């Protein structure tokens, strides 16, 4: 989202770029797909704050799934050099691929952060 501003500090030619609530791009985020479900946005922010994480890829969104009655889940699977995070919100799901070194440090940090944010963590 672009919002026109005056000549304020941090703007480029008077145009300030603002992040959208349900999108992530730049920094450690890669790829052209930037949309996230609310639960995946929370997990992506936790992963981005981890110093062991080098890159985060956002996966496609599955919507219209059976209700979890407000529960949020995170499944963590370890692959060589990366983590596959499956984030389940009430009626939607999204996968995140998180590249890290060392992977176990990132896995622990993400799991602790997710539990602190009210997620049930599996894996």
* Range among 9-13, 24-28, 50-54, 77-81 with highest mean pLDDT value: 50-54
Task: Report how far apart, in Å, the C-alpha atoms of 45 and of each of 9, 25, 53, 66, 121 are.
Answer: 25, 11, 11, 26, 16
Mean pLDDT of 11-30: 60
Q: Residue 77 in contact with residue 83, Cβ under 8 Å?
A: yes
- 20 half-sphere exposure, CB direction, 13 A CA radius: 11
Read off the tokens for 122: 């599996």
The answer on pLDDT for 30 being more than 50 is yes
**φ and ψ at residue 112, rounded to 5 degrees:** -65, -45
- Does residue 2 surpass a pLDDT of 80? no
Closest CA to 58 of 81, 80, 19, 31: 31
Q: How many whole angstroms separate alpha carbon 55 and alpha carbon 64?
A: 29
């Amino acid at each position: 989202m672009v919002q026109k501003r005056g000549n304020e500090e941090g703007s480029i030619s008077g145009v300030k770029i603002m992040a959208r609530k349900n999108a992530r791009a730049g920094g450690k985020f890669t790829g052209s797909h930037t949309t996230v479900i609310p639960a995946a946005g929370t997990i992506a922010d936790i992963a981005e704050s981890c110093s062991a994480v080098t890159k985060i890829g956002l996966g496609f969104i599955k919507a219209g799934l059976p209700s979890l009655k407000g529960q949020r889940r995170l499944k963590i699977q370890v692959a060589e050099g990366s983590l596959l995070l499956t984030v389940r919100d009430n009626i939607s799901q999204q996968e995140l691929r998180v590249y890290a070194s060392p992977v176990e440090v990132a896995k622990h940090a993400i799991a602790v952060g997710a539990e602190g944010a009210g997620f049930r963590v599996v894996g």
